[in-house]
Structure 1
């Protein structure tokens, strides 16, 4: 009888073994996803000095850490509280299984598990969380299989990087930075204990929500370490008393959202997983300059709102906010010599509007286009002292068979008769500009504008009023020819990309020579006068030479200030998002110029070492004309001044032209 029973047991044992072997052969390759572990990882954006600007991710915010960079105390704490015999077993712990079975039988249900860390990793990455016998069998078989393929260290590395630590943090490195604002090597023993105690029930033990419960769980970890003799009495007592500072932070930590959004827009088509592929993106952004630009834009915005409120107090409709409810702005600042973008702000408040006006919006250039027109004239042989007719011309033209008339005027309605090219641009005079472009030739000017990179150009005199539409990025590239001594630079915001395998891609400046330094200096000298005594007075900053041009489009729809110091260029724009007019007070000099001034004043405080004065090239000469110093070059010689024309006021309606 005993032989019969024994025989049955042997047969049953062989059957079970055979079943387990067949099941093992069937599922053993399921561990491949663990062996070839490639989790979603957060991409990190840094400024030029290595300061973290933002984390971006899809579903899981995770920063990966190699096993060798994980402190030994974290490993000890995890093993002590979750799987004391981890380094001795082969994937499953028979002793723990036996204890759990006895407790579950006594309780008449499932009250305790016996999963090793290897089994937990299998459960996280391969199997469901159901408490069924078949799942537990598969889990045990796969755990045994995994330990034949990976080392203990590799298993722990995957576990600590994959597991959820609550509060949106995946992986222990992310959790350390999120909860404590620290790297792993900076953590105290108590902080480590809090972290390794979280995976059991991350929401329940989340220290930002349940600090007392989280500390109690951490104390269990520390007590277990002490019981095992892995820490001494002094370490135990010190850690039990500690209450760490807990941070309740956002996941992205985005300190420069408009800049990061722009960088993503440049990369997303070529690198589809840029948001969650574990990249490290090093931007050209200077975080301090970014913050100054943001504050500068907000300060000018607030002043415009205040002016509007003051106006409405004495109006018939004090509650009418038509002129300001859509008001917004943008600013880009870059290194003139390289094109590296230091500050990129696409709106007054990212929390109110994520629309990025610095590159997603195109607006009319207005009078800010004039330096390009005047530089073309200088390159054609004109000189800053050349005389221009500041008189009105009436233009007849036909649209759809209908005869129309255009009689442009200067801002304010006056005219001078004759002005110098320098004074015309300094005062931003429309009539003399129209006459200058007419004399130089519209085709010549339009071709020159295309050379600077302008695309939305019509081949008629409307170009003199800045009818073309440009984004701030495009305008920044065009203006860089002035700011960089005649050599145009392409603005760029991405310095370097490092993928999770350490492969690096580096970006370099792109340049194109447009004007010679000599011809360009003539324009810089004029634009310096614009700031010192012209329409750009509001942009002045004591202690540094600045050059620039205001721009205001018809009906005050757009307001610009485009300018530069000897090393930094900054473009500012304000307007209503729906393209409706701002108040008549809101010109480029009134709303955009002060933001430019604010930026350079504050930037100079933290970077007093930047160049302060423009340097005149050797081939630029000076002379005295009518008691004033004037510059000339071989291409732009001193003009012959006709004193009779200077003295003769001309009829403002002197000429009628067809176009």
Structure 2
């Protein structure tokens, strides 16, 4: 009889082993997901000085950390509270299983588990969480296999990066930054204990919701460490008394949504996993400049609102706010020599409208096109002192249907001067003298020059004189850089470098193309400096720094621009309405955007007093008196053939200040 019983148990044992082997053979490759661990990781965007702009993720907010960068105290705390014999067992702790079984039998139900950290990792990444015997058997088999393929350190690294810590934080590095605004090495023992105590029940122990319960759980961890002799009495007592400051933060921390939207759009094709690939992206943005730009745009907007309210009070029409309620704006500021975008604001309020006007809006530049035309005329041999005809002409042309039409351009205000020199014409933004300048220079010459700057989709007729093409503020920033960068166009760019999760880095460099000489460009800069000093751009003046720029207002005041620069920084400001309806007649390029431009430079100077303040005159730019006034000339743009007084260069003294 005993022989048969023994044989029975042998058969049952062999059958069980066979079944376990078959089950193991079916599931053994499931651990590949753990071995080839590739979790979703958040992508961080930083400004030029390494300050976090935004933390973007898809599904799981996780910053990965290597085992070597995890403090030993965190490892000790986790093992102390979750799996004291972690470094002794081989994936399954038989002693813990026996204790748990006895407790569960006594309780008549499931009250305690015996999962090791290895089993917990397998459960998180491979198996379901249901409490069934077959799942526990699979878990044990896979854990034993996993321990033969990974080191203990590799298992801990995967566990601490994968586990959920509550509040939307995956991985211990993310949790440390989220709850305490600290890197792991900055954490106190109490803060570490809070974190390692969270995975058991992250919602229940969430310190932002249940701080007392979370602290009690942390004290259990500290007590366990003390019991095991892993911390001394002084460390124990100090940590028990500590109550850390806990933060409840938004997950993305997006400080510049217009910028992040733009960058994500730029990278979506080349980096399709940008939102979960764990990239570190350094941008050219200066967060201080970005904050100033937002403030500048809003202050100019508020001034426009005040003007509108005053007008409606005067007209006793307070209920009619149509003309101003749709007003919006954009600002782009770049480093003139490199094209690095320092600030980019796509609208007055991102929450109200996510449409990025700095990048997506296509608007007519109006009179802001004039510096390009005048630079072309200078390159053709004219001089700032050359006389232009400022009289009205009527132009006959045929429309698209072949009908005869007449076009009679006018100056702002309707007056004309007869003759005016080129400098004053641009300073005062005279339309008639500009049309005559284009006519005399040649529409074809001007058209080709504008194409060389980058303008596209232009009508090949005199309407280019009034800026009838369409550009975005960002595009205009590129073309206008030819003036701010001494004749060399720089392409604005916003991504400085991209580093992937493996540490591989791609760096982006400036893209430039030389178009005009520094000497010829300086002639325009001197004129645009006068625009700010005494012309249509007077509202852009800032004490202590030379500025140059041009206003731009389109027909019916649909668009208002100010495009300007200091010796090192260029800024384009635009105001208008998304539906292309007119603003009030008072809202012009000299009125609406100039306060934003001035505020930006005034505030930027406070935090960057080291930036260049004066425009430097190239050696091959000469100066003389003509009709009693100082004027510049070059070999390519000689003075008009009238009596002039040449002024010798004095290296010890500036002849003229802007």
TM norm structure 2: 0.96
Q: Which residue of 2 aligns with 1:651?
A: none
For residues 133-156 of structure 1, give each alpha carbon's deviation from its aligned partner in whole angstroms, at most 9, with x where no partner exists.
Answer: 111110010000100000110000
2:323 alignment partner, SS class: coil
- 1:654 is matched with none
Output the CA distance in 1 between the equivalents of 2:353 and 2:256. 14
Q: Residues 615-638 of structure 1, C-alpha deviation per residue, up to 9 Å, x if partnerless? A: 111111111111110111111111
2:609 is matched with which residue? 608
Q: What is the 5 A alignment of 1:82-93? A: 82-93=82-93
Match of 1:260 in 2: 260
Secondary structure at the counterpart of residue 384 of structure 1: coil
State the alpha-carbon separation in 2 of the partners of residues 252 and 301 from structure 1.
28
Q: Which runs of 4+ in 1 moved over 6 A?
A: none
State the number of aligned residues: 643
Deviations 1:486-520 (A, max 9, x none): 01111111111111111111111111111011111
The question of 1:79 aligning with 2:79 is answered yes
Q: Equivalent residue for 2:582?
A: 581
**What is the distance in 2 between the residues matched to 1:246 and 1:38?**
30
In the TM superposition, what whole-angstrom CA distance separates every residue of 1:515-559 from its partner, at most 9, and x where no partner exists? 011111110000000000000000001111100000111111111
538-547 or 352-361: bigger deviation: 352-361
Q: Which residue of 2 aligns with 1:360?
A: 360
Shift of 1:196: 0.6
Q: For 2:563, what is the secondary structure of its paired residue?
A: strand
Q: Which residue of 1 aligns with 2:543?
A: 542
Partner of residue 212, structure 1? 212
Match of 1:519 in 2: 520
Bigger Cα displacement from structure 2, 67-76 vs 2-11: 2-11
The aligned counterpart of 1:387 is: 387
Separation (CA, whole Å) in 2 of partners of 1:314 and 1:418? 39
RMSD across aligned positions (CA): 1.3
Q: CA deviation digits over 1:177-225, x for unaligned, max 9?
A: 0100000000011100111111111111111111111111111111111
Specify the alignment match of 2:653 in structure 1: none
Cα deviation, 1:422-474, whole Å, max 9, x if unaligned, reads 00000001111111101111110000000000012110011011111101111
> 5 Å matches for 1:602-641?
602-640=603-641
The CA distance in 2 between the partners of 1:82 and 1:542, in whole Å, is: 65
Deviation at 1:235, TM superposition (A): 1.1
Q: Shift of the alpha carbon at 1:310?
A: 1.8
Q: What residue is the counterpart of 2:227 in the other structure?
A: 227
Corresponding position of 1:292? 292
In the other structure, the counterpart of 1:236 is 236
Corresponding residue for residue 406 of structure 1: 407
Q: Which residue of 2 aligns with 1:484?
A: 485
Q: Distance in 1 between matches of 2:80 and 2:348?
A: 52
Tell me how far 1:351 sits from its aligned partner: 2.2
Higher deviation after alignment, 276-285 or 95-104: 95-104
Q: Name the SS of the counterpart of 1:617 in structure 2.
A: coil
* Cα deviation code 1:75-120 (max 9, x no counterpart): 1111111111111111111111111112222222222111111011
User: In the aligned structure 1, how far is the partner of 2:13 from the partner of 2:312?
Assistant: 92
Aligned to 1:138: 138
Given the superposition, is the C-alpha separation of residues 578 and 467 from structure 1 closer, same or farther in structure 2, using an over 3 Å criterion? Answer: same
Aligned to 2:506: 505
**Counterpart-to-counterpart distance in 1, 2:325 and 2:213:** 48
Secondary structure of the residue aligned to 1:559 is strand
The match for 1:52 is 52
**CA deviation after TM superposition for structure 1 residue 313, in Å:** 2.2
SS at match of 1:50: coil
Query: Do the aligned residues in 2 keep the contact of 1:387 with 1:641 (CA within 8 Å)?
Result: no
TM-score normalized with structure 1 length: 0.96
Deviates more, 1:390-399 or 1:78-87: 390-399
Note if contact 2:626-2:643 (Cα within 8 Å) is conserved in structure 1: no
Deviations 1:274-324 (A, max 9, x none): 121111111111111111111111111111112112222233431222112
The 5 Å alignment of 1:303-452 reads 303-399=303-399, 400-452=401-453
State the partner residue of 2:282: 282
Other-structure match for 2:462:
461
